[in-house]
Amino acid sequence: MTGRLSVVGLGPGAAALTAPAATAALAQADDVVGYGPYVARVPERPGQQRHASDNREELDRARLALALAAAGRKVAVVSSGDAGVFAMASAVFEALDGGPPAWAALEIEVIPGISAMIAVAARLGAPLGNDFCVLSLSDNLKPWAVVERRLALAAEGGFVLAFYNPISRARPWQLGAAFDIVRQHRPPSTPVVFAAAVSRPDETILITDLGSADPAAADMRTLVLIGCEGTRLIPRADGPPWLYTARRVAPP
């Protein structure tokens, strides 16, 4: 087959944080496929076809991209952040796994991007400097009971926690429930961060603590970060405090 499929992570927002390999793949693509707001982030090129679709249509997007590549097109499927972190890479391979056998002969490349948690951590200092755990609080594709169990074990295990998809209009209560679970294992003084649109002009970052963290401070775009026993704040005279997690862990 002459077609090619690139699964591209666009990074957190700023053009400077998009990987050169991603920029090159987008420039060469005959077709760009993705969720509407992410497709809108891709610079337009004459002759390039753009296929924007709505949220929760990941498998349909993946099948379209694979079909276009099978027809000989150079296709880029785009995601925000890194395509492999709660994004389109897994949908592409799920569609490939259940699709026509001929799709297995396609040239497919996954191009990494800077994920939201990495961009947020860099802005704050080094909160992911020790072991951490990343969870999606969405129960669209897994039962909420599974989310609760994983969250409880991660909180008990002492990991720094990063939450994607923390809240939405359809599930406004889940972030509060997640905070309640973490509070069973961590003191009220534990640092909590609400961060959205990091590296973009509308960037917002709120640093608070677990005792007073308000779920209303988040929306679907927000990454929520919860520190652990080793997470520390360093005050700054000219800005918000630095946040880091110590590399050394005391024996139990």
Which SS3 state, helix, strand or coil, does residue 43 take? Answer: coil
pTM of the model: 0.93
Closest of 68, 127, 59, 71 to residue 97, by C-alpha: 59
Q: Is the pLDDT of residue 131 over 90?
A: yes
Q: Could you report the per-residue pLDDT of 7-56, keeping only the tens digit for each?
A: 999 999 999 999 999 999 999 999 999 999 999 999 999 999 999 998 88
Q: What is the mean pLDDT of residues 61-74?
A: 97
Q: How distant, in Å, are the alpha carbons of 92, 126, 218, 225 from that of 205? A: 32, 15, 10, 11
In which element (H, E) is residue 110 found? strand 107-111
Q: Is the pLDDT of residue 139 over 80?
A: yes
In which element (H, E) is residue 162 found? strand 160-164
Instruction: Specify whether the backbone of 48 is left (phi greater than 0), alpha (psi in -120 to 50) or beta.
Output: beta
Contacts (Cβ under 8 Å, ≥6 apart) of 106? 1, 3, 4, 5, 66, 69, 70, 96
Q: Could you report the per-residue pLDDT of 72-122, keeping only the tens digit for each?
A: 999 999 999 999 999 999 999 999 999 999 999 999 999 999 999 999 999
At 55 the pLDDT is: 81
Q: Is the pLDDT of residue 1 over 80?
A: no
User: Which domains, and CATH codes, for the chain?
Assistant: 4-114 (3.40.1010.10), 117-245 (3.30.950.10)
Contacts (Cβ under 8 Å, ≥6 apart) of 20? none
Q: Could you report the per-residue pLDDT of 166-211, keeping only the tens digit for each?
A: 998 888 999 999 999 999 999 999 999 999 999 999 999 999 999 9
Closest of 123, 118, 219, 210 to residue 162, by C-alpha: 118
At 239 the pLDDT is: 85
At 19 the pLDDT is: 96
Tokens matching residue 224: 């929520």
Residues of the chain by 3-state class (helix, strand, coil), percent to 5: 30, 30, 40
Across the chain, mean pLDDT equals 95
At 17 the pLDDT is: 96
Residue with tokens 């007073």: 212
Closest of 120, 68, 205, 190 to residue 77, by C-alpha: 68
At 169 the pLDDT is: 83
At 70 the pLDDT is: 96
In which element (H, E) is residue 144 found? helix 144-157
Are 129 and 247 contacting, i.e. CB atoms less than 8 angstroms apart? yes
3 phi and psi angles, rounded to 5 deg: -75, 165
